[in-house]
Every structure is written in structure tokens, then in C-alpha cells.
Amino acid sequence: MRTLKLTIAYDGTRFVGWQRQAEGVSIQGLLEEALARFEGAPVTVHGAGRTDAGVHALGQVASVQLACLHHADVLARGANACLPPDVRVIRVEDAAPGFHARFSARSKTYRYLLRNAPGVSPFERAYVWHVPEPLDLDAIRSAAAALVGAHDFSAFRSSGGATKDPHRTVTCSRLVERSQEAGAGGGALVHDQGGPLLAYEISANGFLRHMVRAIVGTLVEIGRGRRPAASMGALVAGASRAQAGATAPPHGLVLVGVDYD
């Protein structure tokens, strides 16, 4: 058996998420069906992150063990021929024995897009959270910076996750303004919205269930003036989920990439 590393991009709008479900179409299920055609038998694909329904990916990573001897480039082209156009295998590589997309990962990076403008273009509405009221960006940046380091993120985890340890180490947490042309989808068609396209970017050694969306929801409440920026420090000191902000909608979230040794 050989171990393969796949890098995948997808528009998560119409899917139930990464993980295979009893009902609905998943990214994992589609990949397994595509690769099974080469293997001639069922296969199991493991993803680095279990993105939720509606969440997108630019650099999701998956691992799979196959017996077939097709070249990696042939497998990539063949898989894409079997996949719908909103799921693409960007690259297939032979990996070292024992490589696992999830357990071998050292860091993941997510990006959350917000359109802070009176209106939102129909060409980007599936990729940004539209927040029409003014936001205090300095307060958001101050609160975001407080997340860097090793903390207890219990306040930002939803129930139902399999991971018990709430401690994570964040290496990057920042808010940046992106150029109008940087919107996901639409390109030049989204250039005149009357307000900035904001990107919250976070990298960590792991993430809890709905962690990024809960952080973004809390940051937006801080930007709206509903809670002070200084409150973020107390939230990452073991506060409960009820003390943090609401969970942001899924469609603004993108898994940007996964890092390995």
C-alpha cells in the first residue's frame, strides 16, 4: 500500500461539510467515490480538518492509502474528472508511510471574510458575512491580538466535539483589510460596495468545534461596541461558552492551508 497526500479546494456552499454523513453530499464521500474507481475497492480518505456545512477550503489536505500504481498526476486528473466542478484536487503527492492528514499536521490557518458595508454584492454573498453597521477596527485588532499564545479556548467551543482538551496555541490572530478585488468570487464585479472587505486570519496547532466562528462572532460584538476589547483576555482564561459572543455564520470561513514538518 502507498500513502498519498491530497491538497483540495472546494466551495462548501451546497455540501454537508467535509465529513461523510448519513444524508447529504460530503467532500469526503465524493473523494472516496472518485478514488475507489482507481482502486477497484472502497477507500477511506482522512481530512486535516472537518469543515462544517457551508465552509470553504483553499488548501484542505487529505491522506489515503491505495494499492493502485497510477502516477500521482494521473490520479489527480482522474479524480477531478469524477468530481463536481465545485471540488478540485489541486495536487496529489506520494507521502511517507505513516503520514496522516490530521494527526501529522502541525498547524492550520483559517480566514474569515466580512463585508463591512451598507450592501453586499450578489457575487460574494456566499463567501462573506455581511455586517452593515460601522465597526471599531482598532478594538477588534486589540482583542484579536490577545488570542496569540497558549490558552484555554473553552469559551469558543461548541458542544458535540470529540476533543476533550480545550487548550490550543495560536501563532497568528489578526484583522486585515483586503483589496476589493480580493473577494472570493466575482472579481471586479464586487469592487464598489461602499465599505471594506475585512479578513480575520488565525493560525493554531489545532481548533475546537466552531472555534473560529465563535471567535469571529465575539470580535464583531467588540467591533459593534457591545463588549470591551479587554474582555477577550478573560475569555481565554477558561470562561464558559455562554460568556463569549454568538457563532458567526459558516459561509465566511475558509480553510486556507495546513502545515506539516
The grid cell for 30 is 465524493
Going by C-beta distance under 8 Å and a sequence separation of 6 or more, which residues neighbour residue 122?
Answer: none
Give φ, ψ of 23 to 5 degrees. -130, 150
Burial 3-40 (b: 16+ CB within 10 A, else e): bbbbbbbbbbeebbbbebeeeeebbbbbbbebbbebbe
Catalytic residue among 11, 52, 73, 86: 52
Give the whole-angstrom CA distance, residue 217 versus residue 177: 18
Q: Vertex 148, ends 144 and 150: CA angle to 5°? A: 135
- N- to C-terminal Cα separation, the chain: 22
List alpha helices for 49-161, DSSP H: 72-82, 137-145
Residue listed under C-alpha cell 494527526: 103
Q: What distance separates the 2 farthest-apart alpha carbons in the chain?
A: 58
Look up 86 and say whether it is catalytic.
Answer: no
Residue 91's nearest CA partner among 258, 251, 254, 203 is 258
Which residues participate in catalysis according to the annotation?
52
